Amino acid sequence: MEVSLPLEIDTVKGFLDSREGNALYRLAADASNLGPCLEVGSYCGKSTVYIGSACKLMNNTLFAVDHHRGSEEHQPGEEYHDSDLFDIRSQLMDSFHNFRSNMRAAQLEEHVVPVVAPSAVAARHWNTPLGLVFIDGGHSLQAALTDYRCWARHIVPGGYLAIHDIFPNPQDGGQAPYEIYKLALASAQFELVEIVKTLAILRRVQ
């Protein structure tokens, strides 16, 4: 399937490689036959544009879960801090305004539903079966475990779990996403479909 995006993706702040984004686009289009899609960790919406564009094409919906206060590495003084996203009034990170602007520019507001809340809060009363869950939230072990435990159970059989920033070698990057990737495989509920750069794609088999 040819990837068709409604705006220049490089104008959207984020850390998703284009090959990974294209893989998510195709995955979301495939998963749309099974149920809505959900991502954890939208930031300014780069992955949201890829997944949401596929959902728009397939007349599906993407739920975009993010508290928009930034992960640990986005805070002042940390490696990935972006001062443009720091709200002087609240003295907090706030990526939501940027996110909404990007959704409007991408003409995705009727297909992307922002859920502005921590992952565990958003999942507390969740009952909707999902065709795809994409995890790219906080990279502490606790945050990654929370995202996996909250959302993987809602994926329907045949649906997909995608996890970003998989680094088997600790020297290449943080290990929390890799740990939940191993946990998913060890559960026997998921099988590996493919790995695209640092994006692991798994299918729920039971």
Task: Just list the catalytic residues.
Answer: 139
Backbone angles phi, psi at 3, to 5 degrees: -80, 125
Taking a C-beta distance cutoff of 8 angstroms, is the pair 182, 148 a contact?
A: no
The rounded distance, in Å, linking the Cα atoms of 19 and 23 is 6
Give me the helix-helix angle, 18-31 and 46-57, nearest 10°: 30
What distances in angstroms separate CA 94 from CA 45, 82, 158, one per listed residue?
13, 10, 35
List, in order, residues 6 or more apart from 89 with CB less than 8 Å away: none
